[in-house]
Structure 1
Amino acid sequence: MASQHVLTKVIPPLNFACVEEGLYRSAGPLSLNLPFVSDLNLDTVIWMASEDPSPDFLTWIRANGIKFLNFGIGEITAPWSPDVEINVTAALQALAEASNGRILVTCTMGRHRTGTVIGCLRRLQNWSMTSTFAEYRRFTGGNRHRDRVIEELHNIEQFDRRSIQLPEMDDRQPWLKEAQI
């Protein structure tokens, strides 16, 4: 008798990308994305939306012993409101800490709020503004949100890298070893 093979569709979440080794970005995973996300062997999820993640995603996080850090922010305006700046800075602090291991940065659609955090991370990594902006735009869905994109790119450009206290080298994520503030 031939053995039956169960095929599981492996479907990444919307706007998924590998940012650095062990650091990923995406929209909030749906139930159909969880087999894919499971293969990432995450240690931490950084949630950037003011809305709660789906109940299935939260249940999956708890069931897998994954640390859930909620830095939820609403709509981003230029200049940043103090609450938004505090939460983006806190998310970046969490990204920098090696103890958080493999990380997924996510929000509802994985575009603007997630993109802002990743854009500010690129500033910490001393990327050029051109490269940082190109990466940000790749995930924002074209010109539908033109005014919002302009505001967020302004915030990324104005981000004060000195607001981040990077951990000591031994406690820092490998992709931030070269960062100097």
Structure 2
Amino acid sequence: MGVISNGEVIETGIVTMLSPETKVPAITYATRVEKKEEEEEEMFVVPPLNFSMVDNGIFRSGFPEKSNFSFLQNLGLKSIIYLCPEPYPEENNEFLKSNGIRLFHFGINGTKQSSCIQEPFVDIPEDTVREALKVVLDNRNHPLLIHCKRGKHRTGCLVGCLRKMQKWCLSSVFDEYQRFAAAKARVSDMRFMEKFEISSLKHLSTSFRSLKR
């Protein structure tokens, strides 16, 4: 239904007549596609490789990629422990800065050692693991993510040493390590965890509602 005014039919009710001077923002196909992609990113959050909760406020994973950033944002992380010797990628650094996440870099060289070779555990520096554990045990750094490249060996050793401090029996420590390392489990890693001396860290608290085993 409309009314006639100065020779023009102006619709009333639902539709409002716009004057020629009114500027309407153009909605292009590209704009709609971009908006749809943003909505899909919000709907689907992807965890990093081998992601798992270690304990209250402590998580572990493989190396986070850009597709994992939305997932990590939801964790509200305060800190990340990075166990590879290579520099942290700029893209990841920017993510940390924009979310107020502190990076603790403890470079430990990776190896390609076969699981059947029983070599001395020279690849894992005890002092480095001990310093990393101090960061893990400090509640002020939580929520915290521990990661290396795949979240198997270096991360597994650090978590295994944490379990010893939580008084887990060795069989449970090894079971957890093997669950992530699978066919790539290394005898040298398990020997390192078995021999790792926790006496110098006993004064540190593990009172973050630790999981008992």
> Same-fold call, TM > 0.5?
yes
- Secondary structure of the 1:39 match is helix
Deviation at residue 48 of structure 1 after TM alignment: 0.7
1:174 is matched with 208
Q: State the distance in 2 between where 1:109 and 1:54 align.
A: 16
Corresponding letter in the other structure for 1:39? N
The 5 Å alignment of 1:61-140 reads 61-75=96-110, 78-80=120-122, 84-140=125-181
Residues matched between the structures, number: 168
% of aligned pairs identical? 30
Which of the pair has more CA radius of gyration?
Answer: 2
- Is the Cα contact below 8 Å between 1:97 and 1:173 reproduced in 2? no
**Cα root mean square deviation, aligned:** 2.4
Higher RCO, 1 vs 2 (CA within 8 Å, ≥6 residues apart): 1
Is 2:56 the counterpart of 1:15?
A: no
- Where in structure 1 are there 5+ consecutive unaligned residues? none
- Is the Cα contact below 8 Å between 1:47 and 1:106 reproduced in 2? yes
Q: State the distance in 2 between where 1:16 and 1:43 align.
A: 17
After superposition, the C-alpha distances for 1:73-108 in whole angstroms (9 at most, x for unaligned) are: 113673346x71111000001111111121100111
2:188 is matched with 151
- Where in structure 2 are there 5+ consecutive unaligned residues? 1-35, 112-118
- Secondary structure of the 1:19 match is strand
Q: TM-score, normalised by structure 1?
A: 0.83
Q: TM-score, normalised by structure 2?
A: 0.72
Deviation at residue 112 of structure 1 after TM alignment: 0.5
Corresponding letter in the other structure for 2:126? E
Stretches (4+) displaced over 6 A: none
- Secondary structure of the 2:71 match is helix
Deviation at residue 33 of structure 1 after TM alignment: 0.5
- Is the Cα contact below 8 Å between 1:93 and 1:165 reproduced in 2? no
- Is the Cα contact below 8 Å between 2:55 and 2:210 reproduced in 1? no
Deviation at residue 175 of structure 1 after TM alignment: 3.6
Corresponding letter in the other structure for 2:193? I
Task: Select the structure that is richer in helix.
Answer: 1
Q: State the distance in 1 between where 2:136 and 2:151 align.
A: 16
After superposition, the C-alpha distances for 1:89-137 in whole angstroms (9 at most, x for unaligned) are: 0000111111112110011111100110000000000001111101101
Specify whether residues 165 and 129 from structure 1 end up closer, same or farther in structure 2 by C-alpha distance, changes over 3 A only. Answer: closer
Deviation at residue 176 of structure 1 after TM alignment: 5.5
After superposition, the C-alpha distances for 1:3-50 in whole angstroms (9 at most, x for unaligned) are: x79122211000100001110000110000000011110011011111
